[in-house]
Amino acid sequence: MTLIETRPEAPQDEVPPLYANRVKVYPKAVGGPFRWLKWAVLSLCLAVYYLAPWLRWDRGPGHPDQALLIDMPARRAYFLWIEIWPQEVYYLTGLLILGAIGLFLVTSLLGRVWCGYACPQTVWTDLFMWVERLIEGDRNARIRLDKEPLTAGKLGRKALKHALWLAIAALTGGAWVMYFNDAPTLARDLVALDVSTGVLFFAGLFTFSTYLLAGWAREQVCTYMCPWPRFQAAMFDRDTLIVTYEAWRGEPRGKHRKDAAAQSLGDCVDCGQCHQVCPTGIDIRDGQQLECIGCALCIDACNAVMKKVGLPPNLIAYDTTANQEARARGGAVQWRPVRPRTMIYAALLLIVGAVMLVALGLRSTLDINILRDRNPLFVTLSDGSIRNGYTIKILNKARAERSFTLTAQGLPAGEMQVAGREGWGGPAQLTVKPDTVGTFRVFLRAPRASLKGDSLPIGFALQETATGETAQHASVFVGPDR
């Protein structure tokens, strides 16, 4: 007897196949305010991406003069006047967190504007589609070209298109590595291919991935690869702006004839333009869906047609679900940007931003690390006194050589010696080169009687002789078991 119920096999024609081949999307060109907005955002994003590594910032001789640079071999990151060391990578983390919260806030307010305007996938796919339109023609011309058998002309067009795509991809890959190396030097070296394997690998990786994702994968990335569309359900609520089709007004759809009034049709003339211009190839009249990236090209297309046929515009529009229901009822519409969700995101953004700014403001250019010798823990000297060894690391984050006085505190009758120097005594003078970690080996010695137990907490204090800036570090002085 089985405990598991078996489902009877479904009849063949009712169950759809689980796998669907990709349907190639041929977006049609469209003009309008949202198209202009997309071009503007695209231009801004690409300008920043390609040109930012070329900005210069003078930091003095011996230091890189690039404004934005992550110098991996030297373990430093530069952003204008800010220089961070590897242990301060949390500044970058903070930026990412700010970016994430900002994205949540913008999405809860305005819907998928990231997806539709600013996402790198959208930006580069848009650019590649523009190149394709330039070479192969608009939608109908491209469909015809793909159906044609392979001729010299077709091969030539396709080759030119892919060549241009590869060129753009190569510039993209090159720009990426310029954030990690000096841009003018690297540009010369890349052209001569006189670069390290690492640089070549990453430039090649980003070239290849740009070409693949923007040229071949396109909307498949948004539909299948990217997790962002799938979080949208968590970001949206009834007051989030989405690209929406006013079905209550547009349905029933149908081609309007001259005596339209007698037809009792909705405003939608079923021209199909919204479907043809969509870069992900969906029909917005099916309702809000995962594939809609909110680029609003369908709005531009529909409004153009509506203007021509003399029907009211914004049949497809940016609107909220709540407002759509209100409009359908004929009630008052109100956009509520201020609501608990958006306020919480805004508050988080302000808090994290404030924390980052304060952390940046309080950043000190001096730090001290003490590594106590662990092998051996202590040394007994001839006269019975106990000696401990310490490795002192002084982090000089300023770009000038600095001198310090090191003092040990809390060790009764204690004396200090810097390894390599003669004599025991009090505070030691140490000098550290600019922008480096100075390492010094220091011994502390004390009579056996100074230790009551087998260890004593002590502290090291570092003071800069010129400015008086201090840094402290606690440590311990260890002796034999009693």
Contact residues for other proteins, defined by CB under 8 A? 9-12, 15, 17-19, 373-376, 379-384, 387, 389, 419-420, 443
Which string of DSSP letters, residue by residue, matches 122-168? HHHHHHHHHHHHHHH-SHHHHHHHHHS---HHHHHHHHHHHHHHHHH
Helix (H) or strand (E) holding 347: helix 340-361
Give least dist CB 422 to other proteins, A. Answer: 11
Give least dist CB 448 to other proteins, A. Answer: 8
Give least dist CB 160 to other proteins, A. Answer: 28
Give least dist CB 437 to other proteins, A. Answer: 14
Give least dist CB 7 to other proteins, A. Answer: 11
Where in 276-421 does DSSP place strands (E)?
316-319, 366-372, 379-380, 386-396, 402-409, 415-418
Give least dist CB 18 to other proteins, A. Answer: 6
- Angstrom distance (rounded) from CA 327 to CA 376: 81
- Angstrom distance (rounded) from CA 477 to CA 344: 49
- Angstrom distance (rounded) from CA 366 to CA 463: 10
Helix axes 120-136, 139-147, angle to 10 degrees: 70
Q: Is 432 helix (H, G, I), strand (E, B) or coil?
A: strand
Give least dist CB 436 to other proteins, A. Answer: 14
Q: Which is nearer to other proteins, 323 or 396 (CB)?
A: 396
Terminal Cα distance for the chain, rounded: 75
Establish how many alpha carbons lie within 13 A of residue 255's alpha carbon, considering only the half-sphere containing its beta carbon.
4
Helix (H) or strand (E) holding 355: helix 340-361
- Angstrom distance (rounded) from CA 231 to CA 112: 11
Give least dist CB 205 to other proteins, A. Answer: 19
- Angstrom distance (rounded) from CA 148 to CA 194: 43
